[in-house]
Structure 1
Amino acid sequence: MSDSLLYKLRSGKPPKILFFLKGYLQMCVPNGFYRIRRKEYLKQVETRPDRDYIYERVNYYNKMQYPVELPDKILHEHKHSYYVYLDEIKNFRPSTFHKAYYFDLQYAVRWFSRSLRIAYIPGDVYFTPEFPSIVKSRLLKEDNAYSVILKLDKLRHFIFLNDPVPFSQKRDQAVFRGKIRLSRIREKFLQKYFGSSICDCGVVGRNEGYPEVWMTPKKTIREHLDYKFIMALEGNDVASNLKWVMSSNSIAVMTRPTCETWFMEGKLIPDYHYIEIKDDLSDLEEKLTYYINHPVEAEQIVKHAHEYVAQFFDAERERLISLLVMDKYFQMTGQNNN
């Protein structure tokens, strides 16, 4: 058995084959079954005790306040790390972009007419679209209303876990394993802390042209949990490990996020949900040493992080929010979604 296959079996990440099998099985259910149920299904929101919370999240993901028509054209454009799609729902197929994005999109849009038009940009989005578009991630800036967030690529990004190791029993170090992929903050981190006693860090995967000494074997999620602190450094957009780190008994350490996803990274409170370090990383050792010496305060951060991730555990509510985000999208783009 190859090291690569062995790692995949032990990594702690959900197997892709089960995700895709479930997606294809769901395609066997006629879309009309969902469409005729949509209005009655969404009515239940009005009688739920968490109604206000649901609408708060809907309006957070979809910040559109004024009607905007989509451009009267069709786009199917491949870019470097993303894809621009502007067309009817029915024309986005499994082969159009990565299948994970296809199934995640269908989870929300199959409840609506297949002739409705969407602008959809799957992939790592680190810019603001020119017109209202469905995205996985958006920049944390004021004028980002055209970036409408859905829960996309959740197989990779939305992993939560039960950590059996108490914070007090973990190593007094931070750990980082990842690729750099032109990430300024990750490169700076490796330059500054590779080989230091406070951080166990290294680059995994294919060498991208960085010092060979940085290359190191991968660690499974379970192996990360041996450390009190886990670096959650942004890559092309968000740090994909942040969700499972915050559900663990370790603490996420990162700079202030510049992008956000369905996880609402923009709502995270520094030194309350995670340990925040300066953009130049100069205070990393100081901050880690402080929380090593103040374990009660550290465990409060773990507790607050667990409280934050818990809001995403209600699968029924997550689906309702997704449908309402899309319902608002079609309304604000002037389309009849009856």
Structure 2
Amino acid sequence: MATIARTTARVFYYARNVARDIIPQALFRRRLAARLETARLSGEPARRRLNYYNKLQDGFTPSAKAVRISELPFTPTMYYYDLKEFARYFDPGLLIDVEFGDVMKVPKVPSIVKDRPIRDDDSNAVIMKLDKFRHFQMPADTIPFADKLPAVVWRGDLNNPIRTRFLEAARDLPFCDAGSHKPNAPAEYAKPFLTISQHQRYRYIVSLEGNDVATNLKWILNSKSLCLMPPPTYETWFAERQLEADVHYVPLAADFSDLAEHVAFFERHPAKAERIVAAANAYCRTFDNEQTEQAISLLVLYKYFVLSGQIKPDADVWRYITG
């Protein structure tokens, strides 16, 4: 259920991106060198992030299914616009392999993706900040941890057995307000829809992966509530792999048998909960600087096109990328 502010933001998102597509694209391409020069001055943390998202080190050849930048698939629309925002700075004839949507496996060839499974051999999955309107929604939270309801909350679609398992474990716990607001939810798990601000009234918010990453994870970690979740198995631009258990979130057992124990502990030790919340908030601030976010996005693509042999690297920019 969208708020007026969210609907307005969506309209602005589409209007801005449609306008970018209407503007002669050569104007963007003429600005590439200047933007790269600015990007290479972003500093060491940004360099580490771009090489985390794009872990490729060796040259490669785009696959037979690669598409030209000028022919990127238009659906899902937000994926198209989020990739085109930076791809438009490059020659429209450059080839790129893309996998839009929820990526459950690491691609066989280097490809641009929104997410990837957390595993050691994941370098073919080159992460870009795609579907960011949905996934990077991180509204402020003005309610201190101590002033929140001493209870656990969760809402979501039952599109993963993990979520059903959680509801089974939480069903008889009096301090849990957990269920699904979806029309197809079983009656015993049906609960009314809650907005983000309504979730923020609770001290403990559970995050559970769905088709891939948990959409609510980012705004939970940006709130003053404590995030409870099993360790993540997928990651996006948010770099979920880098989140530390008991530092940024409270890890839950696979069967959720420790849920009551965790809540009881943090009710006795609220200062420890607040330290985790503070660390989670600090992690979210990594993504606050829009200029840095854009620089990293552009460099992730630049590195992809250089290693695919399609453009010759600028010496200074490439020296920054490779360290």
**Shift in CA distance, 168/13, structure 1 to aligned 2, threshold 3 Å:** farther
Whether 1:91 and 2:71 are equivalent positions in the alignment is: yes
Match of 1:34 in 2: 28
Secondary structure of the corresponding residue to residue 330 of structure 1: helix
> Which of residues 268, 284, 288 is equivalent to 2:243?
268
Whether 1:235 and 2:210 are equivalent positions in the alignment is: yes
Whichever residue aligns with residue 69 of structure 2, its letter is I
Match of 1:198 in 2: 175
| Residue 194 of structure 1: how far off its partner (Å) | 2.2
Match of 1:303 in 2: 278
Secondary structure of the corresponding residue to residue 3 of structure 2: helix
> How many residue pairs are counted as aligned between the two chains?
313
Say if 2:169 and 2:255, in contact at 8 Å, map to a contact too: no
Whether 1:158 and 2:152 are equivalent positions in the alignment is: no
Match of 2:320 in 1: none
Match of 2:93 in 1: 115
Moved over 3 A (4+): 10-15, 45-48
Structure 2: how far apart are the matches of 1:225 and 1:292?
A: 17
Match of 2:16 in 1: 22
- Identity over the aligned pairs, expressed in percent? 36
C-alpha distance after superposition, 1:186-213 (max 9, x if no partner):
1110111124213101112231xx5322
Say if 2:59 and 2:308, in contact at 8 Å, map to a contact too: yes
Say if 2:39 and 2:299, in contact at 8 Å, map to a contact too: no
Structure 2: how far apart are the matches of 1:240 and 1:14?
A: 20
**Shift in CA distance, 120/158, structure 1 to aligned 2, threshold 3 Å:** same
Whether 1:68 and 2:87 are equivalent positions in the alignment is: no
Gaps of 5+ in 1: 1-6, 75-85
Match of 2:319 in 1: none
C-alpha distance after superposition, 1:70-114 (max 9, x if no partner):
22x23xxxxxxxxxxx211111253xx111111101112111111
Say if 2:180 and 2:189, in contact at 8 Å, map to a contact too: yes
Structure 2: how far apart are the matches of 1:12 and 1:31?
A: 29
Match of 2:150 in 1: 172
TM-score normalised over the length of structure 2: 0.93
C-alpha distance after superposition, 1:135-172 (max 9, x if no partner):
00001100110000000000110011211111000111
Secondary structure of the corresponding residue to residue 134 of structure 1: strand
TM-score normalised over the length of structure 1: 0.89
Say if 1:12 and 1:222, in contact at 8 Å, map to a contact too: no
Secondary structure of the corresponding residue to residue 144 of structure 1: coil
C-alpha distance after superposition, 1:166-188 (max 9, x if no partner):
1000111110010011x121111
Structure 1: how far apart are the matches of 2:223 and 2:135?
A: 15
Say if 1:175 and 1:229, in contact at 8 Å, map to a contact too: yes
RMSD: 1.6
Secondary structure of the corresponding residue to residue 287 of structure 2: coil
Say if 2:103 and 2:116, in contact at 8 Å, map to a contact too: yes
Whether 1:43 and 2:37 are equivalent positions in the alignment is: yes
Structure 2: how far apart are the matches of 1:226 and 1:13?
A: 23
Structure 1: how far apart are the matches of 2:80 and 2:150?
A: 41
Match of 1:78 in 2: none
